Structure 1
Amino acid sequence: MLKKFIQQLFLGYRLYAVLLGLSVIFLLSYWIAFLFPVGIILLWSLAFLLVLDTIILFRKQDALFAQRLLPEKFSNSDVNEVRLLLDNHLAIPITYTIIDEIPVQFQKRDFELKGELPSKEEITLVYQLIPLERGEYYFGDLHVFVQSKLGLVKRRLSFQRGQLVKVYPSFIQMQQYDFLANDTKRVDQGLKKIRRIGHTLEFEQIKEYSLGDDVRSINWKATAKAANLMVNQFQDEKSQPIYSILDMGRVMQMPFEGLSLLDYAINSCLAFSNIAIKKGDKAGVVTFSHTIHKSLAASNRKTHLLGILEMLYGLKTDYLDTDFGLLYTWLKRKVNQRSMVILFTNFEHQSALERQMPYLQAIAKQHLLVVVMFENTLLESVASEPSERISDVLMQTIAGKFLYDKRLMAKELNRHGIQTILTKPKDLSINTINKYLELKARGLI
């Protein structure tokens, strides 16, 4: 009991200030004699108030209740709220100082909340955290230092020794783009929606036979009833497979505004898959670098999005070169139906694209391939800065050359019939979704 009391007892700053004042009084009493008895009286008064303040704070075992309320999961790169519940059980108002042991990933070593809490009252405090990495985050102890109005001593109370919260890809961003899936009146100027008729799984109607119709689709029962040749008409299946391919090689480790390119791609993949499923298409995910890491077959089940979320949760780059030939082989063997393939990767040099172009062309012959590349926003800022020295001009020239090469690579992909998205990292999700909606409106998927 005594050990616990000592561990919880802390001296307040006001006590040190009073002791400093008393020290000055006793020092002056060497020359001014009547100050000595005044100092003695004040010292005994301080001792009495110190004991009184200690009794006030320590007479109740449960003087205060505190609780940290965490959400089930955090959303990466978004603002997440942490709630703190405080309940004062004392009959006096208190002053509190909260020190929460925030996970090491945030590197916040000076976090504290201060305020006052009336007697027998309860309040809820809220602070915000923005995680920049996926994974497990551990919260330590929640410490609350309590003081009375006297402020001579503090009592430290500790609660909730250790809590775990997992940081998932940005599901908040995914929810923000939900409205795009419900925009049924969306009209793109210059785009014509093509309706294809063919032999697929989705039946459309029964119609009279016309010259040129496939005789294999004759419906003999309907023909007998109508006394005229009737054929089944089919249309392209509406639930098209859409695969998001995530490059996990070294090129995706480049950071922008605290997030790696892989994190931007993962957030976009989740938001885009949500839109695709709500539009009736089947969403799948494949991750690869020098090998195929994980794959999730395309599906449009409502629970499929949770599977995608769990799959994306623990992905990390492996700092190795990416094997696009392996990706082509896997797609040819595993994905038999023509699908839309969105490849999240990055090419910084023309030579890197030229090495992979044969594989990209081979994939584009079998599927609708969309290659996503990232603009280097740091180079853009360098190229747009005013130049004052020769070295600045040189840096701007080099930055401009890299930016020009990136646009040239996008045009080269388009020239070979490969759809391309060249985007800033922060605009990736909305540009990917818009590209999907555009291709869907044009009837290409």
Structure 2
Amino acid sequence: MKRLLKQTYLNFRFFRLAIFLVGLFILAYIYPGLFNIITVLFFILVALTLVDLMLLFKQKGIEAVRILPEKLSNGDDNTIEISLRNKYNYKTKLVLIDELPFQYQKRDFEIKTLLEKSDSKKITYTLRPLERGEYYFGNLNVYASSPIGLVTRRFQFGKDAMVPNYPSFLQLRKYMLMAFSNKLLEYGLKKIRRIGHTMEFEQIKDYVTGDDIRNINWKATAKRNQLMVNQFQDERSQPIYSVIDKGRAMKMPFDGLSLLDYAINATLVISNVALKKQDKAGMFTFSKKVENKVVAERRPSQMHKILETLYNVNTDFSESDFSRLYIDVKRNITHRSLLLLYTNFETLDALHRQLPYLQAIAKNHLLVVIFFENTELHKLTHIKAENTFDIFQKTIAEKFMYEKKLIINELQRYGIQSILTAPEDLTINTINKYLEIKARGLI
């Protein structure tokens, strides 16, 4: 009986009919002849309710399974699937309420559907997580109603399921798929032809328009009686390090994700691209000290190692110590490497405080400083000013955006390469820069 009460809910249809009968009973005091009719209607309602209960509880009812992915991809749409099976011998109306992880703070989630008798159905919905960590799902509640529709029976499935949320591996797969399908140009990735300025000889081939005439092989040309050129390949096995600033400047949110999360997602993708290019991929983070080190290597397990390390990276809200970064780089990275430094400078003064350390790092390594446009300020510069306050806002926004350009010029002045990018374009712009550096043979 206790189980029956816990699973039983009265529908709005029942309450509407009950209220209607109460109104008729009130009228029966004015028109006594209605009393017998209303009494009959009351017993019909009770009988229909009992029949509805028997229909819902006499049979096994509904089977449901929530199918969760092995892990969630941060900042991406992840598909959750629910498999339903109707064991009733009539069409059943269902309302699904899945108890989502607390990170979403969503209290109005429900899915309504109909299932024919002895039918099965799969329902999918998407979740976009914005924080790395563990996501706990509660019960999957399925509320079933018969065609009578006076009573609902609740079924519960899949209690306490946990799914870890990792950096965006879906983004990694997307860029791999685009590379194989030759669709990179559609997403802004540059097609850079390797001219051949390295010393790793690959083969001698026929000259075609666009080949560097400095690489003409005159001996082979004389033998074949046609122009032949030496073709060189990219130098391989070069260390590529992603250096992530996890200080408080990287906590700034854009479109739900922090700058730190954008940097982590880009690190995962660029590490995979570097490994596919036969280079060594590594990473580390810094704030008050250098942490989360993964030495640059080219092994089958390297991507898994980087993914597991990135999973636990969080900001510590401290002021980043670039002097510690310089000391650690000087001690531990002995070979000339490409360092992709993900950080953020909002003003020229902030850059000048760290510039001596960046210069010192750039003496022995190829340093690329990657920092972010403030897209909210960019929107302010395009609004139409209608009053003095709007003019003031627009002027300040343009000043801060101009300072970002001054930061680029200042870095170029000291021979340090840089990328200024919108957070959502970070991955594409980083890959472009890496391909450009490889094409120019700078490392």
Question: Which one-letter code corresponds to 2:79 in the other structure?
Answer: E
Q: Does the CA-based 8 Å contact 2:198-2:235 persist in structure 1?
A: no
Q: Compute the RMSD of aligned alpha carbons.
A: 2.2
Aligned to 2:228: none
Q: Structure 2 matches for 1:30-429, cutoff 5 A?
A: 30-60=29-59, 62-178=60-176, 193-197=195-199, 237-429=235-427
**Partners of 1:196 and 1:122 in 2: how far apart?**
61
Aligned to 2:5: 6
SS in structure 2 opposite 1:174? helix
- Change beyond 3 A, Cα 1:414–1:92: same
Q: Does the CA-based 8 Å contact 1:181-1:278 persist in structure 2?
A: no
**Partners of 2:335 and 2:26 in 1: how far apart?**
93
Shift of 1:47: 1.2
Shift of 1:142: 0.7
Aligned to 2:213: none
**Partners of 1:141 and 1:151 in 2: how far apart?**
24
Under a length normalisation based on structure 2, what TM-score does the superposition of the two structures give?
0.89
SS in structure 2 opposite 1:331? helix
- Change beyond 3 A, Cα 1:95–1:177: same
**Partners of 2:316 and 2:323 in 1: how far apart?**
18
**Partners of 2:354 and 2:127 in 1: how far apart?**
40
Q: Does the CA-based 8 Å contact 2:74-2:168 persist in structure 1?
A: yes
Q: Does the CA-based 8 Å contact 1:66-1:85 persist in structure 2?
A: yes
SS in structure 1 opposite 2:344? coil
**Partners of 1:339 and 1:301 in 2: how far apart?**
18
Shift of 1:196: 3.5
Shift of 1:441: 0.6
* 324-333 or 24-33: bigger deviation: 24-33
**Partners of 1:105 and 1:420 in 2: how far apart?**
35
**Partners of 1:147 and 1:374 in 2: how far apart?**
53
Q: Does the CA-based 8 Å contact 1:341-1:367 persist in structure 2?
A: yes
- Change beyond 3 A, Cα 1:204–1:119: closer
**Partners of 1:184 and 1:33 in 2: how far apart?**
81
Shift of 1:191: 7.7
SS in structure 2 opposite 1:362? helix
Shift of 1:188: 7.0
Q: Does the CA-based 8 Å contact 1:191-1:442 persist in structure 2?
A: no
Shift of 1:370: 0.4
- Change beyond 3 A, Cα 1:184–1:253: closer
**Partners of 1:125 and 1:325 in 2: how far apart?**
53
Q: Does the CA-based 8 Å contact 1:181-1:275 persist in structure 2?
A: no
- Change beyond 3 A, Cα 1:158–1:286: same
Deviation digits for residues 382-411 of structure 1 (CA, Å, limit 9, x no counterpart): 111110111111111111111001110011
Shift of 1:33: 2.3
Question: Which one-letter code corresponds to 1:109 in the other structure?
Answer: R
**Partners of 2:24 and 2:178 in 1: how far apart?**
74
Consecutive unaligned residues in structure 1, runs of 5 or more: 206-233
SS in structure 1 opposite 2:64? strand
Question: Which one-letter code corresponds to 2:147 in the other structure?
Answer: K
Question: Which one-letter code corresponds to 1:196 in the other structure?
Answer: T
- Change beyond 3 A, Cα 1:184–1:374: closer
- Change beyond 3 A, Cα 1:106–1:241: same
**Partners of 2:354 and 2:18 in 1: how far apart?**
76
Question: Which one-letter code corresponds to 1:334 in the other structure?
Answer: N
Q: Does the CA-based 8 Å contact 1:193-1:443 persist in structure 2?
A: no
SS in structure 1 opposite 2:356? helix
* 375-384 or 235-244: bigger deviation: 235-244
Under a length normalisation based on structure 1, what TM-score does the superposition of the two structures give?
0.88
Q: Does the CA-based 8 Å contact 1:76-1:170 persist in structure 2?
A: yes
Shift of 1:5: 1.0
**Partners of 1:249 and 1:36 in 2: how far apart?**
77
**Partners of 2:57 and 2:163 in 1: how far apart?**
33
Question: Which one-letter code corresponds to 2:43 in the other structure?
Answer: W
Aligned residues: 411
- Change beyond 3 A, Cα 1:115–1:367: same
Shift of 1:12: 1.3
Q: Does the CA-based 8 Å contact 1:76-1:134 persist in structure 2?
A: yes
**Partners of 1:192 and 1:130 in 2: how far apart?**
39
- Change beyond 3 A, Cα 1:67–1:404: same
Deviation digits for residues 15-49 of structure 1 (CA, Å, limit 9, x no counterpart): 11111111121111112222111101111111111
Q: Does the CA-based 8 Å contact 1:10-1:154 persist in structure 2?
A: yes
Deviation digits for residues 81-133 of structure 1 (CA, Å, limit 9, x no counterpart): 11111111111211111111011111210001111111111111011111111
**Partners of 2:201 and 2:323 in 1: how far apart?**
37
Question: Which one-letter code corresponds to 1:315 in the other structure?
Answer: V
Shift of 1:193: 3.7
Residue 443 of structure 1 pairs with residue 438 of structure 2: no
